[in-house]
């Protein structure tokens, strides 16, 4: 028997929730320098505050320059996906056709993404970053010219750009960090600030998109203009601030290094599985969070709910420096817990009907875990992966996630033989298994070096 919910007005979050999230992020950011324990590690002397704009050190200038560029890229990424499936539904396209368009994008990310990651390592990640902005310019031009014949091209371009976004900026940053001679322990601050600003930029893209939300067709055209301008501005910024020479390697040397460092090390395979599971769960959230909340005909203000998720993700990122504390063991324990909690929330969402407020709370908990997991995984990659192989490793680790996402789109979206609950349960299983992977990674790290590699 279906549950009927009668609402006099569309449901929306309480206003105090935004205030709580903002004040929590603010307090976490600016109180940490006063409560951190000096002397536990060298990172205590790096910066007094992540937003110390008066600081003029070389590392602070480098960090601010990168965060500006990454924030612009995050706004571009947010504008490209802010309307989601409404881009297709507004043109009268059927649900099956939408699933096929998204499947084409997932297939492009599956096959082109790993190649792009390897090319980025061989030719230099700076070129991959420029390609990211060029693809968004192409999408903006296609939107302005004609939407109907370019839907498939748009889907493929956005999927490839998202794949490039997942590795090119991080790879470029760590390479430049090493090239400029900054200490490795300073990378941890850049990682969590990087994902914090990404979430904040996504909120900004939502605000920009909601300005024209009354007329969806005009919104696409209206957003194409500022999006293309931002992309051009970002490319000019790269040319000005990041014009240094990039060391390139031959494909033969790269293949040998990749085989010796990546393919024969079971620790990296374990880390890759954890990366794939969080990426897959984030993709599943993107397509299922709205249908889950509006189930049974419930009326809600989705545009007011999504910022709560991003705010929770920002709060999770600010928890990283508190829980890190200079101890690798402590960070891995917290990471294991974060994966387990994220998996549990998806499991509850899959098999237990809840009121809207409970659903929103569960999604907020999931995003808080994501905010902590992403910088933690980036830090582990720095420990185990050579910088010259980072792009290829990240892109290959996302291939299983893209393959699983493609299967979900075909089986659940097009053929409709898999329910949403089953899809969420599958994502929950992956997250819980990732908690076990991180636990194994910690155990293997204590073993002698000869036991790290597979026989």
Mean pLDDT over all residues of the chain? 81
441 close to 271: Cβ distance less than 8 angstroms? yes
- Confidence band (pLDDT; 50, 70, 90) for 454? very low
The whole-angstrom distance between residue 125's C-alpha and the CA centroid of its chain comes to 18
425 close to 431: Cβ distance less than 8 angstroms? no
- Confidence band (pLDDT; 50, 70, 90) for 88? low
pLDDT at 28: 84
Most confident of 34-43, 242-251, 343-352: 343-352
CA proximity to 281, closest of 233, 353, 230, 350:
350
pLDDT at 435 over 90: yes
d(Cα 124, Cα 132) in Å, to the nearest integer?
Answer: 13
d(Cα 455, Cα 452) in Å, to the nearest integer?
Answer: 9
pLDDT tens, 6-36? Answer: 445 678 888 888 888 888 888 888 887 777 6
Q: Measuring CA to CA, how many Å separate 427 from each of 62, 107, 291, 435, 439?
A: 37, 19, 16, 13, 19
Q: How many CB atoms lie within 10 A of CB 445?
A: 15
307-343: b (≥16 Cβ within 10 Å) or e: bbbbbbbbbbbbbbbebbebeeeebbebbbebbbbbb
pLDDT at 142: 80
CA proximity to 310, closest of 333, 334, 287, 282:
282
Q: What fold characterizes domain 61-242+251-447?
A: Growth Hormone; Chain: A; (1.20.1250)
392 close to 124: Cβ distance less than 8 angstroms? no
pLDDT at 452: 44
pLDDT at 449 over 70: no
- Phi and psi of 453, rounded to 5°? -95, 150
Task: Tokens for 401, please give them.
Answer: 């996630």
pLDDT at 143: 74
Task: Write down the domain spans for the chain.
Answer: 61-242+251-447
pLDDT tens, 26-68? Answer: 888 888 777 765 544 444 444 445 555 555 578 888 999 999 9
Helix or strand holding residue 121 (H, E)? helix 95-123
Task: Tokens for 320, please give them.
Answer: 């990283």
Q: Is the dihedral of CA 192, 198, 199, 201 positive or negative?
A: positive
- The 3-state secondary structure of 366-400 reads HHHHHHHHHHHHHHHHHHHCCHHHHHHHHHHHCHH
């Amino acid at each position: 028997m279906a549950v009927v919910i009668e609402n006099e007005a569309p449901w929306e979050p309480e206003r105090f929730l935004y205030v709580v999230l903002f004040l929590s992020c603010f307090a976490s950011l600016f109180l940490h320098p006063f409560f951190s324990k000096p002397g536990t590690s060298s990172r205590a002397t790096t910066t007094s505050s992540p937003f110390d704009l008066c600081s003029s050190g070389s590392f602070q200038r480098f960090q601010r320059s990168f965060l500006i560029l990454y924030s612009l890229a995050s706004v571009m990424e947010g504008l490209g996906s802010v309307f989601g499936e409404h881009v297709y539904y507004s043109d009268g396209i059927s649900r099956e056709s939408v699933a096929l368009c998204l499947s084409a994008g997932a297939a492009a990310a599956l096959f082109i993404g790993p190649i792009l990651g390897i090319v980025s390592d061989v030719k230099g990640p700076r070129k991959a970053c420029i390609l990211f902005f060029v693809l968004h310019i192409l999408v903006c031009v296609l939107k302005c010219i004609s939407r109907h014949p370019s839907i498939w091209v748009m889907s493929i371009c956005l999927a490839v750009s998202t794949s490039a976004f997942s590795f090119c900026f991080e790879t470029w940053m760590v390479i430049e960090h090493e090239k400029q001679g900054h200490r490795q322990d300073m990378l941890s601050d850049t990682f969590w600030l990087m994902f914090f600003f990404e979430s904040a930029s996504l909120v900004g893209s939502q605000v920009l998109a909601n300005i024209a939300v009354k007329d969806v067709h005009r919104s696409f055209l209206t957003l194409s203009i500022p999006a293309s301008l931002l992309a051009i501005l970002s490319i000019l910024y790269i040319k000005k601030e990041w014009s240094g020479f990039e060391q390139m390697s031959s494909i033969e040397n790269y293949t040998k290094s990749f085989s010796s460092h990546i393919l024969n090390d079971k620790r990296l395979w374990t880390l890759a599985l954890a990366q794939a599971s969080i990426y897959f769960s984030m993709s599943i959230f993107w397509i299922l969070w709205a249908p889950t909340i509006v189930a049974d005909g419930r009326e809600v203000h989705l545009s007011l709910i999504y910022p709560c998720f991003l705010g929770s993700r920002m709060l999770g990122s600010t928890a990283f420096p508190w829980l890190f504390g200079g101890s690798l063991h402590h960070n891995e324990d917290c990471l294991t817990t974060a994966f387990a909690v994220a998996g549990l929330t998806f499991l509850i969402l899959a098999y237990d009907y809840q009121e809207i407020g409970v659903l929103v709370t569960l999604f907020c908990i999931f995003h808080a875990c994501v905010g902590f997991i992403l910088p933690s995984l980036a830090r582990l990659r720095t420990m185990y992966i050579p910088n010259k192989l980072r792009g290829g490793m990240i892109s290959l680790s996302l291939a299983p996630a893209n393959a699983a996402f493609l299967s979900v789109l075909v089986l659940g979206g097009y053929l409709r033989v898999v329910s949403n609950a089953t899809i969420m349960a599958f994502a929950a299983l992956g997250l819980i298994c990732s908690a076990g992977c991180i636990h194994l990674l910690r155990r293997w790290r204590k073993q002698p070096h000869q036991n790290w590699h597979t026989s």
